[in-house]
Amino acid sequence: MQIVTMECEVCGERNYTTNKTKEMVQQRVKLNIKKFCPRCKKHTAHKEVK
Ligand SMILES: [Zn+2]
């Protein structure tokens, strides 16, 4: 498992971490999740950062 940080695409705040399986890393799966951002005070798209 690899821990990835999820960053708000609107303000850049890093709000969440999640796990990727080895298979997801090998397949270069890009995570894009809608999450609540405390800074934007609403649900926004979150992308993974290195
Ligand atoms: Zn935000």
The pLDDT assigned to 7 comes to 97
The pLDDT assigned to 34 comes to 97
Return the domain boundaries, the chain: 2-49
- pTM of the full predicted structure? 0.85
Query: Using one digit for the tens of pLDDT, what is the confidence trace for 4-23?
Result: 999 999 999 999 999 999 99
pLDDT over 90 (residue 44): yes
**β partners of residue 6:** 16, 48
Going edge to edge, which strands form the sheet with 2-8? 14-20, 2-8, 42-49, 32-37
The CATH number of domain 2-49, selected from 3.90.226.10, 3.40.190.180, 3.30.565.10, 2.20.28.120: 2.20.28.120
If you measure from the C-alpha of residue 26 to the centroid of ligand 1, how many angstroms do you get, rounded to a whole number?
29
The confidence band for 50, taking pLDDT boundaries of 50, 70 and 90, is confident
The pLDDT assigned to 27 comes to 94
- All residues with CB under 5 Å from ion ligand 1: 8, 10-11, 13, 37, 39-40
Computed over every residue of the chain, the mean pLDDT equals 95
